[in-house]
């Protein structure tokens, strides 16, 4: 199906309010219950499009379009919508702030165990990178909304407006405190892992890098040279909150960097953050995880976006943290992009599935590494190697049964439901609890978002067409997974609709109370990620179309011929058979074709062609009259 971000986002908003807003009360929680991450995702489904897309902005009620006003009518008239959102944000902050003002990031009901046992009470309180990253995005979006909306409210003279303005002045510092805490958590969750080449982790890394069977020493020397600048900058500049005993001076050691699942158990404190998160103990092993790394990078994207700095949303502490995160963001993308493309033969990334340093293998990990390669390409605006990366996306779409049929008992089904299980080393034994895992069912949305991102980067028409086709097929897959009945109809995720009983565990969720109480409830995890994809599509479609040099050249040639013929017709102005009005219209068409040459050459080509046709008709009519 064609991706239609405006219409589809409006449907998400309509379904969101139907599922969680009733008689002035916002209802938290979804399929996985209420926790700090799920509730953040739930709120982002509304606030993220509202602050990323100008046409969806809710901070200027007078400028709201009719279709958006109609969808949001459950929140009240357009002048009441902003106030209702302020109330929801106040409720969210109250739910996830302790009485002494400390932000809460507990993962709670999102946590699972590897053996099916119940996590301990202490484990339910663990904080993960998802909570920090999602909160960072929500806080940035909330501050953008409140900053502009307060200016609108301050213009009002009603008593209710004065009260609302006072509430906003209280709320914004609370959101800023949560933003500082989220950024601190991300800084302290960044890790550098330096295994020996002879260790099991080192052998796993070398096994992925060595695609041509070269001597081990050659590979170690080669990757050390390719990563020398990253290693030096990592050793010299990455200090804040990091483990002091990282050995980056020894070229004989391998290294990898990124984010682990939570605060590193060896992370040092951050003195200038006057909150518990600045020095609270961590539990996560000091080894990066690919899933949590891309989650962190996506959150940091909101900090690196120019508009965040332009609006002056950050205070001095946050700017210092933002600089630290931006450095880690850049080094991580450069590291994984270099590792994924290392060697003279095929890329390690093309050896699907990717194997991590702890021996785990999955197509999801390949997609995660491909995501970081793409981010590096976008950061450098590099397109030379983009075709190889797009080929990897295409192969993953087929292996993940996005653009090919799912068969009975197909192991690819587990990528989508119940999802990939990400180990959380270091979580075992906390409160005498079992080892924990993080379940990730977002393979399709991750592929869709990166397809759209690659489409925007590409300057090749054929590749763009290929990527858009992949994106539309992925959207087809996701539409088939929408919930179709109940208050949550139109939201996600009903994965059984794609393949019925072929999904692992489908029989356990297809009948009885679990279907009533679980499957009918929305997964805010997946719904929020679909909303992100639609926002990305909206950005792409608002860009001018691709202007190919070959089409510009053809349009110039066509327009040049048309203008010459028009000048000839102008010499016949005394001829009563020459229509002055038609010549004026042709001149306007050619002026418009000239204006559109660089941005819409195909349109300029058509306009010049139409002008040529009309000029031919004039010339033919004059010749015919002469013969008569």
Q: DSSP string covering 478-546, please? A: HHTTB--SSTTTTSB--THHHHGGGSTTHHHHSSHHHIIIIITS--HHHHHHHHHHHHHHHHHHHSPPP
CB contact at 8 A, 61 and 78: yes
CB contact at 8 A, 436 and 113: yes
pLDDT of residue 624: 74
CA separation for the pair 428, 13 (Å, rounded): 39
Q: Give residue-wise pLDDT tens across range 45-84.
A: 999 999 999 999 999 998 999 999 999 999 998 889 999 9
What residues contact residue 191 under an 8 Å CB cut-off, 6+ apart?
243, 257, 258, 259, 260, 264, 284, 286, 287, 288
Helix (H, G, I), strand (E, B) or coil at 361: strand
DSSP state of 442: -
219 CA to centre of own chain = 34
The average pLDDT across 209-226 equals 94
Whether residue 577 is predicted with pLDDT greater than 70 in this model: the reply is no
DSSP state of 430: G
Q: Is it true that the peptide bond before 34 is cis, omega within 30 degrees of 0?
A: no
Neighbours of 574 (CB within 10 A): 6
Helix (H, G, I), strand (E, B) or coil at 211: coil
Question: Which is higher by pLDDT, 40 or 412?
Answer: 40
Residue 301's Cβ-count burial label (10 Å; 0-12, 13-18, 19+) is middle
pLDDT of residue 308: 67
Whether residue 279 is predicted with pLDDT greater than 50 in this model: the reply is yes
What percentage of the chain exceeds 90 in pLDDT? Answer: 73
Tokens of residue 368, six digits: 């995660």
Residue 540's Cβ-count burial label (10 Å; 0-12, 13-18, 19+) is middle
Helix (H, G, I), strand (E, B) or coil at 260: coil
Q: Which helix (H) or strand (E) holds 420?
A: strand 420-423
User: What pTM does this model have?
Assistant: 0.89
What residues contact residue 251 under an 8 Å CB cut-off, 6+ apart?
221, 224, 231
Q: Give residue-wise pLDDT tens across range 324-343.
A: 999 999 999 999 999 999 99
Tokens 């869709």 found at: 448
Question: Which pLDDT band holds residue 310 (cuts at 50, 70, 90)?
Answer: low
Q: Give residue-wise pLDDT tens across range 468-489.
A: 999 999 999 999 999 998 889 9
Q: Which helix (H) or strand (E) holds 267?
A: none
Residue 294 sits at φ, ψ, to 5 deg, of: -70, -30
pLDDT of residue 520: 77
pLDDT of residue 443: 96
Helix (H, G, I), strand (E, B) or coil at 191: strand
Q: Which of 277, 364, 376 is nearest to 329 (CA)?
A: 376
399 CA to centre of own chain = 22
CA separation for the pair 490, 487 (Å, rounded): 9
Question: Which pLDDT band holds residue 576 (cuts at 50, 70, 90)?
Answer: low
CB contact at 8 A, 259 and 293: yes
Neighbours of 241 (CB within 10 A): 25
Q: Which helix (H) or strand (E) holds 212?
A: none
What percentage of the chain exceeds 70 in pLDDT? Answer: 93
Judged by phi (left if over 0) then psi (alpha if -120 to 50, else beta), residue 429 lies in left
Q: Give residue-wise pLDDT tens across range 517-570.
A: 444 789 999 999 999 999 999 999 998 888 888 888 899 999 999 999 988 888
Tokens of residue 501, six digits: 């009983």
For the chain, give the mean pLDDT: 90
């Amino acid at each position: 199906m064609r991706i239609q971000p405006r219409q589809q986002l409006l449907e998400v908003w309509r379904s969101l309010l139907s599922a969680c807003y009733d008689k002035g009360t916002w209802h938290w929680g979804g399929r996985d219950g209420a926790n700090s991450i799920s509730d953040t995702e739930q709120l982002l489904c509304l606030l993220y499009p509202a602050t990323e897309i100008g046409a969806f902005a809710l901070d200027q009620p007078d400028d709201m379009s009719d279709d958006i006003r109609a969808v949001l009518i459950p929140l009240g008239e357009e002048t009441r919508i902003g106030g209702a959102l302020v109330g929801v944000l106040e409720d969210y902050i109250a739910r996830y702030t302790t009485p002494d003002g400390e932000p809460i990031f507990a993962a709670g009901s999102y946590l699972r165990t590897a053996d099916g046992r119940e996590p301990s009470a202490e484990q339910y309180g663990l904080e993960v990178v998802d909570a920090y990253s999602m909160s960072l995005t929500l806080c940035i979006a909330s501050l953008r909304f409140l900053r502009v909306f307060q200016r609108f409210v301050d213009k009002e003279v009603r008593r209710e407006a004065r009260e609302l303005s006072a509430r906003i002045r209280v709320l914004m510092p609370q959101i800023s405190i949560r933003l500082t805490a989220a950024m601190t958590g991300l800084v302290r969750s960044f890790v550098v892992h330096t295994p020996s080449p002879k260790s099991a982790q080192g052998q796993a890394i070398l096994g992925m890098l060595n695609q041509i069977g070269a001597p081990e020493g050659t590979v170690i020397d080669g990757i050390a040279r390719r990563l020398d600048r990253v290693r030096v900058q990592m050793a010299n500049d990455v200090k804040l909150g990091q483990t002091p005993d990282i050995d980056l001076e020894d070229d004989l050691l391998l290294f990898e960097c990124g984010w682990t699942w939570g605060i590193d158990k060896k992370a040092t404190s951050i003195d200038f953050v006057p909150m518990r998160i600045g020095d609270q103990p961590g539990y996560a092993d000091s080894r990066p995880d690919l899933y949590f790394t891309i989650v962190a990078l996506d959150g940091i994207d909101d900090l690196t976006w120019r508009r965040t700095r332009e609006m002056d949303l950050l205070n001095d502490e946050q700017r210092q943290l933002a600089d630290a995160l931006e450095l880690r963001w850049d080094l991580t993308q450069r590291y994984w992009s270099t590792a994924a493309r290392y060697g003279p033969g095929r890329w390690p990334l093309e050896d699907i599935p990717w194997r991590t340093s702890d021996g785990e293998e999955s197509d999801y990990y390949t997609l995660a590494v491909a995501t970081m390669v793409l981010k590096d390409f976008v950061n450098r605006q590099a397109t030379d190697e983009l075709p190889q990366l797009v080929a990897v996306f295409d192969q993953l779409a087929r292996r993940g049964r996005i653009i090919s049929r799912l068969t009975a008992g197909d192991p690819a089904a587990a990528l989508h439901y119940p999802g990939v299980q990400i180990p959380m080393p270091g979580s075992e034994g906390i409160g005498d609890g079992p080892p924990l895992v993080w379940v990730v069912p977002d393979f399709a949305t991750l592929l869709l978002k990166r397809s759209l991102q690659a489409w925007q980067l590409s300057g090749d028409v054929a590749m763009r067409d290929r990527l858009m086709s992949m994106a539309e097929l992925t959207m087809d897959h996701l539409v088939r997974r929408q919930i179709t009945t109940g208050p949550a109809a139109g939201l996600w995720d009903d994965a059984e609709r794609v393949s019925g009983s072929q999904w692992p565990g489908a029989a356990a969720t297809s009948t009885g109370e679990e279907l009533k109480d679980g499957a009918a409830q929305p997964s805010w995890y997946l719904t929020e990620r679909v909303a992100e994809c639609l926002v990305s599509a909206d950005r792409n479609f608002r860009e001018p179309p691709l202007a190919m040099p070959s089409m510009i050249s053809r349009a110039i040639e066509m327009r040049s011929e048309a203008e010459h013929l028009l000048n000839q017709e102008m010499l016949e102005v005394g001829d009563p058979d020459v229509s002055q009005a038609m010549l004026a219209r042709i001149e306007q068409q050619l002026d418009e074709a000239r204006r559109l040459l660089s941005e819409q050459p195909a349109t300029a080509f058509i306009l010049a062609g139409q002008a040529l046709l009309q000029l031919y008709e004039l010339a033919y009519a004059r010749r015919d009259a002469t013969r008569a």
